[in-house]
Structures are given as C-alpha cells and as structure tokens.
C-alpha cells in the first residue's frame, strides 16, 4: 500500500519581504560605493535601509549573506533573461545585456574587485550562466545536437569563457560596445556571424 504524499502548498511571494530585502540590498550597495566591504557594519546597513535588526536577521545571517543574496538574485535574473523573454535567436547567453549592466555599474565593479569580492561574484555568476546556457543549448536547432549528458560540461566551459571575456573587456577599458562583444562571443562558440 503506497501512501499519498502531502500536497505542496504554493506560497505567494510576500511583497513586504521582497521590499525589505530590496531596501537592505540597496543600502549595502550604496555603502559599498563609499567604503570597503569589511568596514561596513550591519548597523550601518540597517540605518540606511530603515530596517530593524530583528527584521534583518529574519532574512539574513550576516552582511555577507546579504551580499551573496543580492549577487545571486542579480545573476538568476540576468542569466535567464533570454528564456524569460522567449528570445528566438541562437544566442546562448545575454552577453550584451550583461556587459551593458557592468558598464553602467563600473564604479561598483571596481569596488568589488578592490574589496576582493570578485571571486565570489564570479563563482555565482558562472554557476547561474552555466545552468541557463545548458538549457539554451538544449533548445538550439543543430545538425548534430549535443547529447544531454555533455551539455552541463559544455555550458560550464562556455560560462567560464563568458566571464573571462568580461574580465578582459573591463581590463581593456570597455572600448568595444556590448553588442560587439555579444557578437564576438557567439561567433566564437557558434561559428556564425
């Protein structure tokens, strides 16, 4: 005799909790632009966000958890952009959109590099993009489709290449336009122009 599993209850996202997390994230980012990460206290984040200490700890363990949560949320949204927009192209990643965002947030990018936080940022970004690229690779019409068992490895390599290209582009002064970098990336991996 098999038991029926309990039904799952889908919970609606709590808009108040989302607003609180957004305020805390915005406060941390604002503080990062004026002082080093290690010098920022949770109390400074709370004061800037107008949030109580108990509310903060309902959502996060510490400021590092808040930081990683913000990075994770950003990359989740950015990496799935093409799929969410039902982009019919053969692009496997929203390269132009990512590079445009980095260009607009160049001060924050510089602060993250200086603070030593980029390895964490890159690790989260590569993981999200690898999952999204694997999904896109499965949808691409190809003469010789990639077998499902190798897609994750290929996607991981492509995500690493994407972040390596992004790092190079920033170090070169962001001279090429984001859409040019998108074409370059996709030409390298798809062999098309």
- pLDDT at residue 2, as a whole number: 46
**Are 56 and 122 in a shared domain?**
no
Q: Is residue 171 part of a domain?
A: yes
Residue range 145-153: average pLDDT? 87
**Banded model confidence at residue 7, pLDDT cuts 50, 70, 90:** low
**Cα–Cα dist 97/158, whole Å:** 17
pTM for the predicted model, two decimal places? 0.86
Is pLDDT of 99 > 50? yes
Q: 82 and 47 in one domain?
A: no
User: Which conformational region is residue 50 in: left (phi greater than 0), alpha (psi within -120 to 50 degrees), or beta?
Assistant: left
Domain closes at, from 60, 92, 115: 60
In a domain, 118, yes or no: yes
163 and 83 share a domain? yes
Task: Pick 151 or 144 by higher pLDDT.
Answer: 151
> In this model, does residue 151 exceed pLDDT 70?
yes
Are the C-beta atoms of residues 93 and 79 closer than 8 Å to each other?
A: yes
Do residue 107 and residue 156 come from a single domain? Answer: yes
Assigned token pair, 179: 């859409």
Q: Report how many domains make up the chain.
A: 2
CA dist 145 to 26, 142, 151, Å?
Answer: 42, 5, 10
Q: Is residue 8 part of a domain?
A: no
Q: Greater confidence, 28 or 144?
A: 28
Of 6, 33, 60, which residue sits at a domain end? 60
pLDDT band at 148 (very low <50, low <70, confident <90, very high): confident
Please report where in the chains the tokens 């970004």 appear, as a residue. Answer: 125
124 shares a domain with 53: no
Range of the domain at 53: 15-60
Decide if 4 is inside a domain: no
Same-domain pairing of 103 and 43 = no
Residues 183-189 have a mean pLDDT of 94
Residue 154 CA from chain centroid, whole number: 19
End-to-end CA distance of the chain: 59
């Amino acid at each position: 005799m098999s038991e029926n599993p309990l039904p799952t209850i889908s919970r609606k996202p709590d808009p108040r909790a989302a607003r609180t997390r957004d305020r805390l994230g915005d406060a941390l980012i604002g503080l990062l632009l004026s002082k080093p990460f290690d010098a920022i206290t949770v109390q400074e984040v709370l004061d800037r966000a107008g949030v109580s200490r108990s509310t903060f700890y309902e959502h996060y363990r510490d400021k590092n958890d808040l930081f990683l949560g913000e990075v994770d949320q950003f990359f989740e949204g950015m990496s799935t952009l093409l799929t969410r927009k039902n982009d019919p192209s053969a692009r496997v990643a929203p390269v132009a959109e990512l590079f445009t965002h980095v260009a607009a947030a160049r001060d924050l990018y510089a602060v993250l590099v200086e603070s030593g936080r980029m390895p964490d940022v890159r690790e989260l970004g590569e993981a999200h993009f690898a999952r999204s690229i694997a999904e896109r690779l499965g949808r691409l019409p190809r003469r010789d489709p990639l077998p499902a068992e190798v897609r994750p490895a290929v996607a991981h390599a492509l995500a690493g290449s994407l972040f390596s290209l992004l790092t190079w582009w920033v170090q070169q002064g962001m001279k090429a336009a984001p859409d040019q970098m998108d074409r370059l990336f996709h030409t390298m991996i798809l062999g098309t122009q």
